[in-house]
Amino acid sequence: LQRRGCLMAGPLVYFGRGRRIDVYNFTAADLPPTEMAAGQARLHRFGGAGIPGRGMTVAQHAFNLSHVVGDCPDRQRAALIHDAPEMFTGEVPRPIKSVCPDFVAVDDRIMLRLGEVFGVPAWAFEAIKEADTRIASDERLFMFDDLDPEDEQRCRERQLGITITPVTETVAANAWLRRFYQLFGEPTHV
C-alpha cells in the first residue's frame, strides 16, 4: 500500500473538524494543538464512568500528570501527549486494553509516531508510566464513591495525594493548550 508517499499506510480516521488523517503517518501540521486539546477534552476518563460533576477528561488528566512527573522537560512533554492516541481510538479503559493485544499495538504505534513528530524520546513515555498509574489512583478516589474495599485500599496506597478540582471540557482544553505551548513552544506565524 502507498498513500501520500508513505510505504506503510495506516488507518485513516476523522480528526478535528472532519479531516481524515493516517494515524501511522501524520505530521505536526495534521495535529493542530487547538484540535488536540479539544479532542482530548471531549474524552472522559474511565470510559465516562464516575459521579456526575466529578468526571475527568483526558485533557485534564494529561495536564495534571505533566505537573507531577518532575522537572525533566521530556517527561513533562510525554505526560502531556501520552493519551493523545485516544483522540483516534476513544478512551478505552486499561482492563479492556489489557485483553486486546492488537489494540495495544495500534496505540503503541500511534504513540511512537507522536514522539517522532513532537520530538519526545521513547524513554520519556516509559519513564512516566508509574506516575500515570499512581495519578489514576487519585482520580478513582475523586471520581468514585462506590469502590470495592480492596480497590479503594490499593488506590489509597498508590495515590499521589494531589488535589483534583472538577472543570468543564472548555477549561480542560484551554489548560491543556496553554501547557502545550509552555512545553513545546508558541506557534510561529509566517
pLDDT band at 61 (very low <50, low <70, confident <90, very high): very high
Residues 70 and 81: their CA atoms lie apart, in Å, by: 16
Q: What is the pLDDT of residue 1?
A: 38
Are the beta carbons of 42 and 57 closer than 8 angstroms?
A: yes
Geometric angle at alpha carbon 38, from 190 and 44, rounded to 5° = 155
**Average pLDDT, whole number, for the chain?**
92
Burial (CB < 10 A; 0-12, 13-18, 19+), residue 135, is: buried
Looking at the DSSP bridge assignments, the partners of residue 13 are: 21
Reading the block at residue 53, the C-alpha cell is 460533576
pLDDT tens profile 23-47: 999 999 999 999 999 999 999 999 8
- Is the pLDDT at 128 greater than 80? The verdict is yes
